[in-house]
Structure 1
Amino acid sequence: MPPQRVFALPRQQSLLLPAVINPFVQDTKLTTAAIVKCVLLGIFLVPVRAILLSLVLMVTWPVAVIITFKHPLKGAVEPMTGWRRFMCRRVMAALGRTYYFCMGFRVVVKGKQVGSSEAPILAVAPHSTFFDGIVCIVAGLPSTVSRVENLATPIFGRFVRCLQPVLVSRKDPDSRKNTIQEIDSRAKSGGKWPQVLIFPEGTCTNRSCLITFKQGAFIPGVPVQPVLMRYPNKLTLLLLTLCQLYTTVEIEFLPPHIPTEEEKKTPALFASRVRETMAQALGVPVTDHTYEDCRLMISAGELTLPMEAGLVEFTKISRKLNLKWDNVKKELEGFATMASSCKGGRITIEEFARFLKLPVNPPLEELFALFDRNGDGTIDFREYVIGVTILCRPANTEDVLRMAFQLFDTDEDKRITREEFTSLLRSALGVSDLNMTKLFKEIDADGSGFITFSEFQAFATTHPEYAKLFTTYLELQRYQAIQEARPGDLELSSQTDSGEKQEDSVSDKKDD
Structure 2
Amino acid sequence: MSVTIAPVRLILVMLILLLDCVIAKIALGGLTEQQLATKPMKGWRRMLLYPLWLLGRFQFFLMGFHYISVKGKKATCEEVPIFIIAPHTTFFDAIIVFVLGLESSSVVSREENGKAPLFGILVRALQPVFVSRTDPHSRQNTVREIIRRSQPGSEWPQILIFPEGTCANRTCLISFKPGAFYPGLPVQPVALHYKTKPDTVIWTWEGPNALTCLWLTFCNWNNELEVEFLPVYKPNDEEKKDAKLFARNVRDVIAKAMDIPVTDHTFEDCRLMMEASKIGLPMEAGIVEFHKIMVKLGLKLSDVQEQLPKYAEIAKSKGYISIEDFAEYLKLPISPALEEVFAMYDRDGSGNIDFREYVIGCSLVAKPASNEKTLTLAFKLFGGEKGYITKEELVQILESSFTMADNEAEELFNQVDEAKSGEITFDQFKAFADKKPEYATLFKTFQELSEAESYQEQGNLNFDKDKND
**TM superposition score normalised by structure 1:** 0.58
Equivalent in the alignment of 2:274: 298
**Displacement of 1:209:** 0.3
Please state if 1:197 is matched with 2:160: yes
CA contact (8 A) 1:310 1:332 kept: no
Give per-residue Cα distances to partners, 1:64-105, cap 9 Å, x unaligned: 1222222343157212223333332x3221111101111111
Equivalent in the alignment of 1:129: 90
Change (3 A) 1:94 1:369: closer
CA contact (8 A) 2:108 2:161 kept: yes
Please state if 1:377 is matched with 2:348: yes
Q: Distance in 2 between matches of 1:305 and 1:136?
A: 38
Please state if 1:51 is matched with 2:11: yes
Aligned counterpart in structure 1 of residue 174 of structure 2, from 195, 208, 211: 211
**Displacement of 1:133:** 0.8
Any residues of structure 2 matched to 1:100-179 within 5 Å, and which?
A: 100-106=60-66, 107-141=68-102, 142-169=105-132, 173-179=136-142
CA contact (8 A) 2:87 2:173 kept: yes
Equivalent in the alignment of 1:60: 20
Any residues of structure 2 matched to 1:101-500 within 5 Å, and which?
A: 101-106=61-66, 107-141=68-102, 142-169=105-132, 173-233=136-196, 234-236=199-201, 237-312=213-288, 316-317=292-293, 319-324=295-300, 371-373=342-344, 377=348, 384=358, 458=459
Q: Distance in 1 between matches of 2:93 and 2:121?
A: 18
Code of the residue aligned with 1:147 in structure 2: it is R
Change (3 A) 1:211 1:313: farther
**Displacement of 1:228:** 0.8
Q: Distance in 2 between matches of 1:83 and 1:122?
A: 27
Q: Distance in 1 between matches of 2:134 and 2:276?
A: 25
CA contact (8 A) 2:287 2:361 kept: no
* Gap runs ≥5 in structure 2: 202-212, 327-338, 364-449, 464-469
**Displacement of 1:272:** 0.4
Code of the residue aligned with 1:74 in structure 2: it is Q
Q: Distance in 1 between matches of 2:119 and 2:341?
A: 53
Kindly report the root-mean-square deviation, in angstroms, between the aligned alpha carbons of the 2 structures. Answer: 4.2
Change (3 A) 1:363 1:157: closer
Change (3 A) 1:267 1:61: same
CA contact (8 A) 2:82 2:158 kept: yes
> Secondary structure of the residue that 1:377 maps to in structure 2?
coil
**Displacement of 1:113:** 1.3
Please state if 1:82 is matched with 2:47: no
Rg comparison, structure with higher value:
1
Code of the residue aligned with 1:182 in structure 2: it is E
Change (3 A) 1:388 1:95: closer
Change (3 A) 1:299 1:446: closer
Q: Distance in 1 between matches of 2:4 and 2:200?
A: 18
**Displacement of 1:271:** 0.2
Give per-residue Cα distances to partners, 1:201-255, cap 9 Å, x unaligned: 0111011000000011001111111111121122212221111111111211111
Q: Distance in 2 between matches of 1:43 and 1:235?
A: 18
Q: Distance in 2 between matches of 1:143 and 1:380?
A: 53
Give per-residue Cα distances to partners, 1:442-492, cap 9 Å, x unaligned: 9xx889xxxxxx979x599x9xxxxxxxxxxxxxxxxxxxxxxxxxxxxxx
Code of the residue aligned with 1:210 in structure 2: it is L
**Displacement of 1:276:** 0.5
CA contact (8 A) 2:319 2:354 kept: no
Q: Distance in 2 between matches of 1:232 and 1:386?
A: 44
CA contact (8 A) 1:289 1:315 kept: no
**Displacement of 1:332:** 11
Q: Distance in 2 between matches of 1:102 and 1:327?
A: 54
**Displacement of 1:282:** 0.4
> Secondary structure of the residue that 1:229 maps to in structure 2?
strand
Change (3 A) 1:242 1:178: same
**Displacement of 1:62:** 1.7
> Secondary structure of the residue that 1:225 maps to in structure 2?
strand
Q: Give the aligned length.
A: 341
**TM superposition score normalised by structure 2:** 0.63
Change (3 A) 1:365 1:269: closer
Code of the residue aligned with 1:95 in structure 2: it is L
Q: Distance in 1 between matches of 2:460 and 2:44?
A: 70
> Secondary structure of the residue that 2:253 maps to in structure 1?
helix
Q: Distance in 1 between matches of 2:345 and 2:230?
A: 39
